[in-house]
Amino acid sequence: MDEPSDEELMRRFCGGDHSAFEALFSRHAGRVRAYLRGMVGDAALAEDLAQATFLSVVRSKDRYQRGSSFSTWLFAIATNAARDALRRRGTEQSARETLKAEEEHSVDGPTGDPGLRKELEVALQGLPATQREVVLLHQVQGLSYQQISSTLGITQTAARIRSHRGFARLRELLSHLDLEGVS
Amino acid sequence: MKLETFRSDDSPDRAAMDRMLAACREEMKVAPPSTWRVDLARLLAGCWALAAATLAVLTATGELGAVTAHAALPALSLLGAGAACAFLGVSPSAHRGWALLAVAAAAAAMLGVHLEVTDRVDAGPGWLCTVSHLGLGAGPLVFGVLVMRKAAVSPLRALLIGLAAGTTGALVGELACARSWEHVAVFHLGAWASLGLIALAVSRFVRPRSFAP
């Protein structure tokens, strides 16, 4: 039997079915957390923001427009949460410092080469937030430019330009590494 | 290593996920907050009721004479601008910029009508109109800020909510004050814009309860 779509689950959740929310949570929590980690460069903060994102889904389910893409709406919430956190934290430079400090003390890491992943994370923090969010949404989360346009409230052309510039900058920042995978 | 490895949290911390889900379950037990439509209705009803009550008091005390037909256009423009600002400030709509056109049209109507009005000699300094305008907008503004917290705060949303609150005073001022267009531009439109800017300034310190658009 086909699994219900996100939109169907959201419709059920809006109708009072809490298990539908749990299904949405289990589908998207990992992606949202990973996206937020890329945005803020801080695992603990990303966890808090992921929680705030899903709490926002619960509190503002009436603001979800039926028929629209759930993942687009969810990433719009996550982006707003990340922007708010970055604004409160002050300069984006501090994010890079946090990551570098984490890098020095990190003992565990995700699969693959943890050191390389850290390098990528640090490089991501070197991008302006507007480019970082587009790079993460497009190159990492696989959202189309049309979806990014809806998520961020920008034109598709602006999304393409930011993605292109962000990716070019990322390659520049990672020029000292093997760029095989960053292409 | 590819960027795609960032797609999902590949070292899922089960405890963290459980904590997040538990927090959401707790939230779902709480009575749901009012919907944005209810908030919008409350904001508009509050603004209009306050304006109506003030005009009723002014009429009863003889401060407000018969409202002339020329006031109908700016009054209707203000009602429309207030509704547009409130709707686009409170709803999840992404087309917020349009409300600013409604505000510009209402402001132009106010000034245009007053260009043709003979300056009436009123007692009291002009800033009294500004103070009255700000006073009338204070209540709706406080409510608007509370509503603002229910979704992601953006400068445009904040500005629109402030301008929506400001239409109360603008409407009363338009009907009750027959001074020159210069007076309207400085003391009425200035006060209206100030409420928008106050909301904008306050929004920087607002901690939203939700980040939904």
Pairwise pLDDT comparison (B1 vs B161), residue with the higher score: B161
Three-class DSSP category at A140: helix
pLDDT of residue B1: 42
A91-112 tens-digit pLDDT: 455 555 555 555 554 444 444 5
Surface of B (53-92) touching A: CB under 8 A: 92
**Cβ-nearest to B7 among A31, A52, A63:** A31
Q: Give me the DSSP letters along B60-76.
A: HTTSS-PPPGGGHHHHH
Put simply, the answer to whether B17 touches A65 (Cβ < 8 Å) is no
Contact between A33 and A50 under an 8 Å Cβ cutoff? The reply is yes
**Cβ-nearest to A58 among B4, B27, B150:** B27
What confidence tier does A57 reach under pLDDT thresholds 50, 70, 90?
Answer: very high
CA torsion angle A131 A137 A138 A140 (round to 10): 110
What confidence tier does B105 reach under pLDDT thresholds 50, 70, 90?
Answer: confident
Pairwise pLDDT comparison (A162 vs B32), residue with the higher score: A162
Contact between B211 and A84 under an 8 Å Cβ cutoff? The reply is yes
Highest mean pLDDT out of A167-171, B70-74, B146-150: B146-150
Angle between helices B14-29 and A18-40 (to 10 degrees): 130
pLDDT of residue B47: 92
| Residue B6 to residues A32, A118, B14, B58, B175, Cα–Cα distance (Å) | 10, 11, 18, 64, 60
Return the residue in A28, A35, A39, A58 with the most chain B beta carbons within 10 A, the one to mutate for interface testing: A58
What confidence tier does A8 reach under pLDDT thresholds 50, 70, 90?
Answer: very high
Interface residue A182 vs chain B (CB under 8 A)? yes
Q: What residues of A are in contact with residue B208 (Cβ under 8 Å)?
A: 84
Ordered alpha helix ranges (H), A16-175:
18-40, 43-59, 70-89, 93-105, 114-125, 129-135, 145-152, 156-173
pLDDT of residue B102: 83
Chains A, B: CB contacts within 8 A come to 134
pLDDT of residue A20: 94
Contact between B209 and B149 under an 8 Å Cβ cutoff? The reply is yes
Q: How many helices (H) and strands (E) does chain B have?
A: 8, 0
> Is pLDDT above 70 for B66?
no
pLDDT of residue B141: 95
Supply the DSSP symbol for A88: H
CA torsion angle B211 A137 B17 B24 (round to 10): 20
Q: Average pLDDT, stretch B66-93?
A: 83
